[in-house]
């Protein structure tokens, strides 16, 4: 693909793409996708609309790319946190806490992900938009599958009570995702308070008592 060849030749190209994604995430997260102006994103990065088009064909293409990249990042982090886990309870607490151990940029990204989820259901005729949309949808499924596999193994090991692993995955991810509909940085609650509350409730959904086994109870989320 032409874009990839050019990116390989120009080392600054990747960072420019990142800069556009960062500015767009901030704008979509703050004002909402519909109310955000694509031209304002170009302006924020200091790029002309022709150059912008090289990276993203449309505001929607950029949105899908934000979603796909974010989900790819989440999946990699989940795999790193759970790979070769022998203590499933500890790994569970780690991944649940990691879901709230976020930068402001990642919070904004989560807000965009949950708010604009409906747009992922629309088929697109543009190949670039459709590629990014499909990538976001596939990573959503990959992440659900990775969670369900992990929970199945935790059930087999007796770390959590037996239940439908797919439904349990949906409940835990649904509970986590619901936070980004209302959470705002600088509001009444710190992210740490939200994390403490929601990690405990996710464990409750999984049937794990709030009083964790010794050794994991005092473990703190890395900052």
Residues near a copy of itself (CB under 8 A) are 32-35, 115-119, 121-123, 163-164, 167, 170-171, 173-175, 177-179, 181-182, 189, 194, 197-198, 201, 204-205, 207
Q: How far is the CB of 128 from a copy of itself (least distance, A)?
A: 18
DSSP-based three-state secondary structure for 31: helix
Give whichever of 44 and 175 is closer to a copy of itself, judged by the CB atom.
175
Token reading at 114: 């949950």
Return d(Cα 119, Cα 6) in angstroms, integer: 29
Helices 59-82 and 12-31: crossing angle, nearest 10°?
A: 100
Give whichever of 32 and 215 is closer to a copy of itself, judged by the CB atom.
32
Q: Is 27 exposed, middle or buried (0-12, 13-18, 19+ CB in 10 A)?
A: buried
Give whichever of 98 and 172 is closer to a copy of itself, judged by the CB atom.
172
Give whichever of 19 and 163 is closer to a copy of itself, judged by the CB atom.
163
DSSP code string of 61-123 = HHHHHHHHHHHHHHHHHHHHHHTT-S-HHHHHHHHHHHTT---HHHHHHHHHHHHTGGGGGS-
Q: How far is the CB of 6 from a copy of itself (least distance, A)?
A: 32
Token reading at 197: 């509350």
Q: How far is the CB of 174 from a copy of itself (least distance, A)?
A: 3
Give whichever of 123 and 218 is closer to a copy of itself, judged by the CB atom.
123
Q: How far is the CB of 96 from a copy of itself (least distance, A)?
A: 14
Q: How far is the CB of 202 from a copy of itself (least distance, A)?
A: 9
Cα distances from 108 to residues 24, 57, 162, in angstroms, run: 10, 22, 35
């Amino acid at each position: 693909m032409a874009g990839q060849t050019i990116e390989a030749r120009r080392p600054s190209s990747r960072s420019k793409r990142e800069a556009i994604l960062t500015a767009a995430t901030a704008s979509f997260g703050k004002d909402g996708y519909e109310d955000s102006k694509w031209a304002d994103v170009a302006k924020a990065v200091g790029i002309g609309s022709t150059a912008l088009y090289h990276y993203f064909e449309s505001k929607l293409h950029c949105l899908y790319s934000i979603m796909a990249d974010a989900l790819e990042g989440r999946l990699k982090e989940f795999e790193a946190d759970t790979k070769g886990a022998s203590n499933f309870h500890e790994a569970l607490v780690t991944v649940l806490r990691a879901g709230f151990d976020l930068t402001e940029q990642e919070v904004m990204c989560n807000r965009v992900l949950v708010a604009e989820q409906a747009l992922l259901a629309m088929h697109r005729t543009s190949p670039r938009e459709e590629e990014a949309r499909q990538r976001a949808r596939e990573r959503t499924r990959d992440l659900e599958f990775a969670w369900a596999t992990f929970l199945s193994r935790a059930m087999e090991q007796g770390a959590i009570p037996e239940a439908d692993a797919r439904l349990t995955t949906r409940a835990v991810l649904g509970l986590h995702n619901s936070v980004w509909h209302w959470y705002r940085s600088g509001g009444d609650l710190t992210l740490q308070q939200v994390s403490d509350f929601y990690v405990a409730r996710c464990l409750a959904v999984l049937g794990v008592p709030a009083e964790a086994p010794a050794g994991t109870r005092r473990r703190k989320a890395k900052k």
